Chains A and B, each alone.
Chain A
Amino acid sequence: MARIQLRDLCGSRSGDKGDISDLSLFADDQAAYEAIKAEVTAERVKEHFGDLVKGRVERFEAPNVLALKFVMYEALGGGAPRSLRSDNLGKTHAASLLRMYIDVPDEVATGARRRRAPVPR
């Protein structure tokens, strides 16, 4: 087994509906999908987001596109037009999820394909 940060293994996108933050987590092959399905549970996501998410977290599976979905309740400070947060739409939650570390089979870690953006300094 190897420890890997989701940033190196997955893509993600998030959006809002009312006070609900809705995240998708994408794997790049079947083995990586099985790994995140085993590791990235609703409970772990709830714990990961701590105070940012006051309500429950539900998880759904979309195996046809190798993705997991997380629906996080009471997660946006009351909803976009009511929220005091800068990120009142929860767009950054997708990025925050990628901070999580999980344990995966070695071949999943070595096959991780997510690259880092070059910085044109």
Chain B
Amino acid sequence: MTTVRSADTMTIRLGGGQGFYGDGVGPVADLLDAGLDYLVCEALAELTLAILQKDRQRDEALGFTRDLPVYLQAAMPFIVDGRTKFITNAGGINPVAAGRAAAATLKAAGATGIKVATVVGDDVRGRGDELRLPADALFANAYLGARPIVEALDAGATVVVTGRVADASLFAAPLIHEFGWGWDDWDRLAAGVTVGHLLECSGQVTGGNYSGPWWENPDPLRIAFPLAECESDGSAVITKPEVAGGMVTFDTVREQLLYEVHDPANYLNPDVTADFTALSVDDLGDNRVRISGAKGGPPPDTYKGLVCTPAGWAGEARLAYPWPDAEAKARAALAFIKGRARANGVPVEEWYEEYFGVNAYGGPTVDLSAATEPSEVIGRLAWRTADAESAGRVSQGTGVLGLSGPPTISSTGRGRDGRPTQLLAVDAFPVDRKLVDSQVRVDIEEV
């Protein structure tokens, strides 16, 4: 059966299949069964590029999120029979390798006639001189917008793999492609970015990390990933597969709408500046929330870039003590470690102390004058040194606490190897759009 679809009346269904590298793949099956035109997998937090950089330091063929084939396999039957297209930024800092992995996964499943597009050009480390980047930059990438993905879809791609693309643009791209929205149709571009922003963190819009009555989530072991039913006018209904758990309400949607956006009236994206304060958010009941009335304006003059540089090494120790005097014991233990490191001449550049059970997270927001004596306290000491060897030397001083430190120390459990870890600085910088646009390329391979 062939359905003739008109852009004015058709609804495009987008699914948010991943919110970070390591997100569960289970809920993806429910999304696909519910019916999707596009499964979009957003794999890259700021921190993720640093993790991928460590991978690439070990092996030049790595540097993409290695669970890409798992998501692709989950969607394979839907991709092969043409029901669903697949878009992901799993390419990380090595989209070429990710594109190859995607093609290999399709081939291994016996798929044929599938166009796999790889978007490259977000990597600007090679332009370090022009951009005045630090000489020791480990990676430097610009956030691309929706254009190269739209180009790939216009060319008939079914699978699109990118590196660093603004998260929301991964979702805006298929809407721009399907509805033919213009690149100066700011309100509709803003609508696409809004939908993308709401779906890009998977379970965070469907009852996950929810500050409302999270304990009332239906089927909390099976929190749904979200889907959006999108119209050509830019309005959309955010919802979830019926069979899955979690909830979609005005409250869960607004918590995600404002997540990490800074000024909500000027949410910056490479293709548009969106005004989330103009939006209408209407709870239709039955896990359906309608968003409409998006407003937008021209994007910033520059792309946002992120540059990563080495920032020393870290070690940490956790020492647990029970009542009575738990906090005093933990504080004495941390002072012990610091004192021994100083006595041994270990060059430590920064210390950070936390007391779990007292105020480890809340710090000065905790009113300790009203607190009762805690049942137990875990003291955590972290330190930064210039080199790994020094970070390790501090750790060597902690075992002595068992027999020579404050009384009644306890282990904090198994599974901590205590080896030093490398610290990385990731800093934002503006990138000239022309410099980036001139190197962006869409490679298409037919499997």
Q: How far is the CB of A100 from chain B (nearest CB, A)?
A: 7
A65–B47 touching, CB < 8 Å: no
Contact partners of B255 in chain A: CB under 8 A: 11, 13, 24, 26
Given A13-B211, A64-B279, CB of A92 within 8 Å of CB of B426: no
Which residues of the other chain, A, contact B361 by a CB distance below 8 angstroms?
Answer: 86-87, 92, 95-96
Residue of A nearest to B423 (CB): A82
For A95-121 the 0/1 string (1 means CB < 8 A from B) is 111011000000000000011011000
Task: Give 1 or 0 for each of A19-42: 1 = CB within 8 Å of chain B CB.
Answer: 010101010000000000000000
Max count, chain B CB within 10 A of own CB: residue among A48, A63, A65? A65
Q: Is B344 an interface residue (CB 8 A)?
A: no
Cross-chain contact A99 with B260 (CB below 8 angstroms): no
- In the complex, B13 has a CB within 8 A of chain A: no
A13 to chain B minimum Cβ distance, whole angstroms, is 5
Contact A60 B47 (CB under 8 A): no
Q: Does B364 have its Cβ within 8 Å of any Cβ on chain A?
A: yes
**Other-chain contact of A51, B354, B363, B427 (Cβ < 8 Å):** B363
Contact A67 B258 (CB under 8 A): yes
| Chain A residues, CB < 8 A from B383 | 84
User: Could you tell me the distance between the alpha carbons of A89 and B426 in the complex, rounded to whole angstroms?
Assistant: 13
CB of B130 within 8 Å of the partner chain: no
Task: Point out the residues of chain A lying under 8 angstroms from B12, CB to CB.
Answer: none
Cβ distance A68 to chain B, nearest Cβ, rounded Å: 9
Please tell me if the beta carbons of B251 and A26 are within 8 angstroms of each other in the complex. Answer: yes
User: Is A61 part of the binding interface, using a Cβ–Cβ cutoff of 8 Å?
Assistant: yes
* A contact residues, range: 35 or more
Q: A89 to B261, Cβ gap below 8 A?
A: no
Check if B73 is an interface residue, CB within 8 A of chain A. Answer: no
Q: Are B264 and A99 in contact (CB under 8 A)?
A: no
Per-residue interface assignment for chain B, residues 366 to 397, with 1 indicating a CB less than 8 Å from any chain A CB and 0 otherwise: 11000000000000101110000000000000
Note all chain A residues with C-beta closer than 8 A to B50: 80-81
Residue of B nearest to A71 (CB): B262
CA distance A14 to B278 in the complex (A): 22
SS class, residues of chain B in contact with chain A: mixed
A67 CB, nearest partner CB in chain B, Å: 6
Would you give the shortest CB distance from B166 to chain A, in whole angstroms? 12
Once A65-B281, A69-B258, A96-B362 are accepted as A-B contacts, the answer to whether A85 and B264 lie under 8 Å apart by CB is no
Residue in contact with A52 in the complex, picked from B262, B265, B351, B363, CB distance below 8 Å = B363
Select B262's contact among A17, A66, A84, A85, beta carbons within 8 Å.
Answer: A17
Q: Inside 8 A of B362's CB, which chain A residues have their CB?
A: 92, 95-96, 99
B258 contacts A82, C-beta separation under 8 Å: no
Kindly identify which residue among A13, A82, A87 contacts B425, using a CB–CB cutoff of 8 Å. Answer: A82
Q: Are A69 and B254 in contact (CB under 8 A)?
A: no
Residue of A nearest to B427 (CB): A18
B409 on the A face (CB < 8 A): no
* Cα distance, A51 to B364, chains bound together (Å): 7
A62 to B267, CA, bound (A): 12
Closest CB in chain A relative to B220 CB, distance in Å: 12
Are A67 and B365 touching (Cβ within 8 A)? no
A50 proximity list for chain B (CB < 8 A): 363-365
CB pair A86–B354 under 8 Å, yes or no, is: yes
Given contact pairs A13-B209, A60-B264, A92-B361, A18 touches B258 in the complex (Cβ within 8 A) = no
- Residues of A contacting B380 with CB < 8 Å? 86
Contact partner of A64 (CB less than 8 A), chosen from B259, B262, B278, B366, is: B278
Chain A residues close to B by CB (< 8 Å): 11-13, 15-18, 20, 22, 24, 26, 48-52, 58, 60-67, 69, 71, 77-82, 84-87, 89, 91-92, 94-97, 99-100, 114-115, 117-118
* A and B contact pairs by CB, cutoff 8 A, 29 listed: A11-B212, A11-B251, A13-B211, A13-B258, A13-B259, A16-B46, A17-B260, A26-B251, A52-B364, A62-B265, A62-B277, A63-B277, A65-B254, A65-B258, A69-B262, A71-B263, A80-B46, A80-B50, A81-B426, A82-B311, A84-B352, A85-B382, A87-B361, A92-B361, A92-B362, A99-B365, A100-B365, A114-B212, A117-B214
Could you list 16 further interchain pairs (A-B, Cβ under 8 angstroms) beyond the known A66-B254, A77-B352?
A11-B251, A13-B258, A15-B259, A17-B428, A18-B426, A18-B427, A22-B262, A50-B364, A51-B363, A60-B262, A60-B263, A78-B311, A79-B46, A85-B352, A86-B361, A92-B362
User: Lowest 5 CB-CB distances: which A-B pairs, in order?
Assistant: A50-B364, A84-B352, A15-B260, A84-B382, A11-B211
